[in-house]
Amino acid sequence: MPALRKLLGLTGAALALHALVLGWLQAQWREPAALRPMVAPLFTRQIAATAPVAPPPTPAPVQRKKSRQKSPSAPVSKEKFAPEIKANDAPPEVTEPTLATVETPPTHDPPSPQADAAASVPPAPDAIAERDTPMAGPAPDPWPADTRLTYDLGGYYRGDLHGKASVQWQREDARYQVQVTLDFGLLLNMVMTSQGEVTDDGLQPLAYEEAVRGRRRTVRLDAHEITLANGQKLPRPAQVQDTASQFVELSWRFQTGRERLEEGHSVSLWMARPGGADLWTYRVIGRETLYLGRLGEVEAFHLQPLPLANPRGKITADIWFAPTLQYLPVRIRISLGDAQFVDMLVDRIEQR
């Protein structure tokens, strides 16, 4: 019996050690998480509709005036240099200074020949322009402050749908995160998260993740390629976005004037999703009046997606952007095909 107990003890110890080694190896081989958690911002105010801010005009190039030589045949006006003195006009009176107004001139050392030469050289035109032009302040940040849009969610999918949705944007220096949440209660909860960098040319996504009922699918975006959820790699198109980042990217393009928000204009962008990357084109249908509950009546531009060249499914999304609400997406209607849809209408907009 003692020998059996000793054997069982050694076997148990060996199994425990084996489990620890396997756990350590699994931790080492586990792929690092694509997303880096960001601290949730504190929203302190709600915004209301205001007059739309026009996109800044493109600055015109500075043109320097060329010096024009005087034409020898052109008549010279006497008034340009001095008034004409007629013979019968009295000469101007010269008032002798009194002792009270006479000041003793200060004494200075005689200027050196080098100083005389430097004083006789006129300043360069660039130096004059730099001296006379007032210093401009820092350019305003074209990106919005941390923002959360909360939507009333309705629609139809095997029955009427009711719930809440949100689009949340936040930024830490050059990093950003956009998170889209659809909450149907016990029926369905879906979270789409985009993270990446803010650049002068727009958002540059580095990771995108979809989480539905605990199942996660991730897209990684490197400098030159995209890695899909199944491990397939694709070349990275220029200025590619994802399902979540597109809402903030389009809002930024309209607000800065990089894209025209007017009827008939089309906007195209590559969009990466877990199953692939496609070129999406939205056409501006026109201006519509939306009733947004506590925000009242708001004018918004309706963007409708054109059919994809190689569709991967029936899902499409119409988006409405409101210039009086910082060009934010105030309505999103997701079509699921076969008369099934999800309609998101903004209820409130909060900012930090």
The mean pLDDT of 256-271, rounded to a whole number, is 95
Report the alpha-carbon angle 73-78-81, nearest 5.
110
Residue 149's CB: how many other CB atoms inside 10 A? 23
Condensed to tens digits (0 to 9), the pLDDT of residues 128-149 reads 444 555 555 556 678 889 999 9
> Can you give the pLDDT at residue 80?
41
Q: Which residues pair with 147 in a beta bridge?
A: 169, 351
Phi, psi for 87 (deg, rounded to 5) = -65, -40
Considering only residues 158 and 295, tell me which one the structure prediction assigns the higher pLDDT.
295
> Can you give the pLDDT at residue 144?
85
> Can you give the pLDDT at residue 345?
96
Please, which residues have CB within 8 angstroms of residue 55's CB and are 6 or more apart in sequence? Answer: 254, 255, 256, 257
**By mean pLDDT, which of 52-61, 116-125, 185-194, 259-268 is the weakest?**
116-125
Highest mean pLDDT, choosing among 3-7, 14-18, 324-328:
324-328
The mean pLDDT of 35-60, rounded to a whole number, is 77
**By mean pLDDT, which of 67-81, 256-270, 291-305 is the weakest?**
67-81
Residue 27 to residues 13, 18, 22, 216, 276, Cα–Cα distance (Å)? 21, 14, 9, 19, 29
> Can you give the pLDDT at residue 260?
93
Q: What length does the chain have?
A: 352
Condensed to tens digits (0 to 9), the pLDDT of residues 300-310 reads 999 999 998 87
Residue 15 above 90 pLDDT? no
Residue 340 above 80 pLDDT? yes
Determine contact, residues 209/34, Cβ cutoff 8 Å: yes
Domains plus CATH for the chain? 141-351 (2.50.20)
Residue 226 above 90 pLDDT? yes
**By mean pLDDT, which of 105-119, 241-255, 273-287 is the weakest?**
105-119
Residue showing tokens 């999406």: 280
Please, which residues have CB within 8 angstroms of residue 58's CB and are 6 or more apart in sequence? Answer: 257
Q: What percent of the chain has pLDDT over 70?
A: 66
Assign 293 a pLDDT band (cuts: 50, 70, 90): confident
**By mean pLDDT, which of 31-40, 66-75, 171-180, 202-211 is the weakest?**
66-75
Condensed to tens digits (0 to 9), the pLDDT of residues 168-223 reads 999 999 999 999 999 988 778 899 999 999 999 999 999 999 999 889 999 999 99
d(CA 235, CA 221): 10
pTM for this one?
A: 0.69
Assign 103 a pLDDT band (cuts: 50, 70, 90): very low
